[in-house]
Amino acid sequence: MNQSIVLSLDLGTTGSTAVLVDFKSSPKIIGKHNAEYPQHFPKEGWVEHDVDEIWQSMSTAIKNVLKTSSISTKKIKSIGITNQRETVVAVDKKTLKPYGKAIVWQCRRTTGFCNAIKKDPELTNYIHKNTGLVVDPYFSGSKIKWLIEHHNLQSKVKAGDVMFLTMDAYLLAKLTRGKSIFTEASNASRTMLMNIKTGAYDSKLLELFGISNQDCLPPIKDSSGHFGSTEDLGFLPSGIPITGMLGDQQAALAGQGCYKENQAKCTYGTGAFILVNCGQSFKTPPKGLLNTIAWKIDGKLTYAVEGSCFVAGSAVQYVRDQLSWINSSGESEQKASNDFAAPQVIFIPALAGLGSPYWNPQARGAFLGLSRGTDQPVLMRAVLEGIAFQVNDLLSSINESGITAQELAVDGGAAANNILMQVQADFSGIKIRRPKALESTALGAAIFAALGSGLIQDLSEVSKKLDLDQEFLPNKEASYAVSRQKQLDAWKLGVQAVSIFSQRENG
């Protein structure tokens, strides 16, 4: 039987998505199912996942996509995995039983420890120079230290009986019944444990975060190749190879066809994440941004510069769930369609702190400039504009560093919002390119799995086959420039205000 289909598994922050991609001619999504799972918030600023709930949701997504698409599993050539990156869980090495819940990338519980590190300029510089990252509770290293200390795992670490797994490695382990436990370079580069120049774990950083035995971490492999095969799952036959794994933002870069230097994408999901392909030469990242691994193929690392906003689509979810202004996220566009907010009203979407280029985990969200006449449509518009302002900060930092992105490819659920995309084009003065398939993350994982299983021979085979949906062009009128600057000035004042408030709140 001709096998031209890849099953792509996208393990996100709020749900699991199983996607079937047919590579018979050009990559085409022929089936998709999403199953949500809850986030847990045990304390202020803490975010957790129950990995059993994650596995159940992914199992449900796989079963349902196979059922609704009526695709025989015999047609599946291989499996690709993509995932929320910095989230980490401690599990028993033999049974995969978790020690408590996974700590999610959004979680800020290790802020105090990270602040202590920042007091040592030499150590802070070492981390930035060798990992490409800034010291922040966002990344996995400090989360692992917390898991070791609060679950009393020191003896198990020393004996090598516990594993600390990012979600790519956890999902791989579950699919293979524990026979394969690996990670790959793009995910490993987000742990703050990997030397970004060598692609190997850094002994000094392992010591810093309390990992006395490297066997407690999954070995780092290429992003495309054989990771293992399905084993005794029931809903999938045994023996299907897993041949591609990428962190979600790197997978979106691949799914957007950004295989050349200076090609850029932004994913508007729970957060908003810009990645710019920087090729195979390590470059110092612009101030406030990160250097990360895009992927590793045939032992060669491809680098990317990244900017991260912790809240994007989740701001709209906040309006829907906590404020009940809308019944669905899709209603946000209609609600905001006839109003403007900035510079009179500004929303700072720091509901989980501020990421790049500010790196202020204590910052909190705020509406500024309210009056008796401020109504829900104006506030909804301010939420969308706040998302765009954050992304514009990232683009400005990238451009100031000399890296020139001529256009921005976009994906993710919030990228379907036409108002948000047009506002982004106008605020940033850049052309926005939106593909027909917004599932770029799942598509990127499928492409790397196709490469690893021989369905394609080279990434260039697919880069010209991705269908465009719509382009959003910036307002170039001279009169708009004055209005745009007032809006940007108001945003900057808003960021300063929440930063000052966070300093007051935290003493």
pTM of the model: 0.85
d(CA 68, CA 72): 11
Q: What is the CA radius of gyration of the chain?
A: 22
pLDDT confidence of residue 465: 63
**Nearest-5° Cα angle at 368, 364 to 369:** 175
pLDDT confidence of residue 1: 58
Contact 38, 47 (CB under 8 A): no
pLDDT confidence of residue 337: 83
pLDDT confidence of residue 45: 87
Instruction: Write out pLDDT tens, residues 313-342.
Output: 888 888 898 988 888 888 888 888 888 888
Token output for 31: 């089936």
d(CA 243, CA 223): 8
Local structure of residue 197 (DSSP, 8 states) = T
Contact 48, 408 (CB under 8 A): no
d(CA 377, CA 383): 10
The residues, ordered by sequence, that sit 6+ positions from 290 with a Cβ below 8 Å of its Cβ are: 132, 133, 134, 305, 306, 307, 308, 356
Instruction: Write out pLDDT tens, residues 338-351.
Output: 888 889 999 999 99
Give the residue among 297, 131, 290, 110 at the shortest CA–CA distance from 202.
131
**Which residue's structure tokens are 């596995």?**
55
pLDDT confidence of residue 504: 64
* Collapsed DSSP state (helix, strand, coil) of residue 434: strand
Consecutive H or E run containing 56: helix 51-69
The tens place of each residue's pLDDT in the chain, 507 residues long, gives 578 899 999 999 889 999 999 988 778 899 999 999 999 999 988 999 999 999 999 999 999 999 998 888 899 999 999 999 999 999 999 999 999 999 999 899 999 999 999 999 999 999 998 998 989 999 999 999 999 999 999 999 999 999 999 999 999 999 999 999 999 999 999 999 999 999 999 999 999 999 999 999 999 999 999 999 999 999 999 999 999 999 999 999 999 888 988 889 999 988 898 999 989 887 777 778 888 999 999 999 999 998 888 888 888 888 898 988 888 888 888 888 888 888 999 999 999 888 888 888 888 999 999 999 999 999 999 999 999 999 999 888 888 777 777 789 998 888 999 999 999 999 988 899 998 877 889 999 999 999 999 999 888 777 666 677 889 999 888 878 888 899 999 999 999 998 888 776 554
pLDDT confidence of residue 480: 84
| Mean pLDDT, all residues of the chain | 91
**Nearest-5° Cα angle at 61, 55 to 63:** 100
* Domains of the chain: residue spans and CATH: 309-404+412-431 (3.30.420.40)
The one-letter code for the residue type at 331 is E
Token output for 458: 């080279």
d(CA 395, CA 403): 10
d(CA 178, CA 20): 24
Q: Exposed, middle or buried, 167 (CB in 10 Å: 0-12/13-18/19+)?
A: buried
Token output for 225: 């190749």
